Amino acid sequence: MEFSAEQIAGLLNGEVVGNPAITVSTLAKIEEGQTNALSFLSNSKYEEFIYTTASSICIVNKTFEPSKALPETLTLVKVDDAYACFAKLLELYNNMSKKQPKIEQPSFIAESAKIGSDVYVGAFAYIGENAIIGNNVSIYPNAFIGDNVTIGDNTIVHPNASIYVDCKVGANCLIHAGAVIGGDGFGFAPDENGEYQKIPQIGNVILEDNVEIGSNATIDRATMGSTFIRKGVKIDNLCQIAHNVEVGQNTAMAAQVGIAGSAKIGKNIMIAGQVGIAGHLSIADGTIILAQSGVPSTIRKKTIVMGTPAIDAEEFKKSYFGFRKLPYILSKLRELEASIKSLTKE
């Protein structure tokens, strides 16, 4: 589908500088621009590319003033916030490419399942007994929806994702390929012979509204009760959330985060990649945990932490500076020891 510069400016409340009739039919990074492509510039580090880009239209901030001649084929759309406006266009583009309502065959939908209006179900998808699927939901091929699962309106479940029995997914959620919602928690107890016996996991997982789960992320069902992922939480690819964890509203975590059982993660927390969080602890609202940190105990007040075990980030940096100087310090210590021995002999 084609859009003219004039139409784009209308959508974004922007101003056209150049040819308002020029059209675009694809999107491209400004450094990889091509004819009929739409790009954007918001970071001054990339300004050099706007003078050579082959894109037909570029969204820029109203404050942008070129320092040299722009390509004759380039039209600008000036807006208040180029990054936010381009994100808005990406969302529009994504919605336009969404699957149209359809039940593809072969797929399995249990007779007791309730399916809302305008739903897409891809080939080889499975929807179990008493499942409730809301309106405008998309379930892509090979997805598994277990018995008694509830999925809210406008949610998207991508290929090969699995939502186990009794789990609940809110509205406007996005579950990426290969994610597993509601697998068994890691519950075992050794018997008198030292052999591990499985503890049944009879709870579920509850995802509230506007949650996004990345590819191949896993969220374990509770032993009893529920594992909670609260409203607005964003979980990256390859994360592991253990049984009975609660992740607070609008918290975000990057790839390869692991959270052990029964941890309580507060609201508006940012967790960087490869962080490990021990079980049965709490983390205060607004905390930031930097990459590869290990959190072994409760964090009681909002702070920025890093390291293993995680401590205040500024304290860690000071400690790390000392650690880097350790070979020098040891060398000086040996010199002092040698000097002391020499003085003692004298």
The residues annotated with a catalytic role in the active site are 243
Q: Which of 53, 56, 61, 57 is nearest to 78 (CA)?
A: 61
Determine contact, residues 175/161, Cβ cutoff 8 Å.
Answer: yes
Helices marked H in the chain: 5-12, 47-50, 82-96, 313-324, 326-345
Q: What is the dihedral of CA 273, 276, 280, 282, to 10 degrees?
A: -40
DSSP-based three-state secondary structure for 47:
helix
| Spatial CA neighbour of 182 closest among 234, 227, 151 | 227
CB 73 within 8 A of CB 56: yes
CB 312 within 8 A of CB 304: yes
Contact 267, 208 (CB under 8 A): no
Report the sign of the C-alpha dihedral through residues 69, 70, 76, 80, in that order.
negative
How many CB atoms within 10 Å of residue 290? 17
Amino acid letter, residue 104: E
Give the rounded distance of the alpha carbon of 149 from its chain centre. Answer: 23
Query: Mapped to the 3 state alphabet, what secondary structure does 134-173 carry?
Result: CCCCEECCCCEECCCCEECCCCEECCCCEECCCCEECCCC
Residue at 301: amino acid letter: K
CB atoms within 10 A of CB 311: 14
Measured from the Cβ of residue 97, the count of other Cβ atoms closer than 10 Å reads: 7
Tokens at 26, concatenated: 């694809």
**276 - beta bridge partners?**
258, 294
Neighbours of 85 (CB within 10 A): 24
Q: Which helix H or strand E contains 133, and what residues bound it?
A: strand 132-133
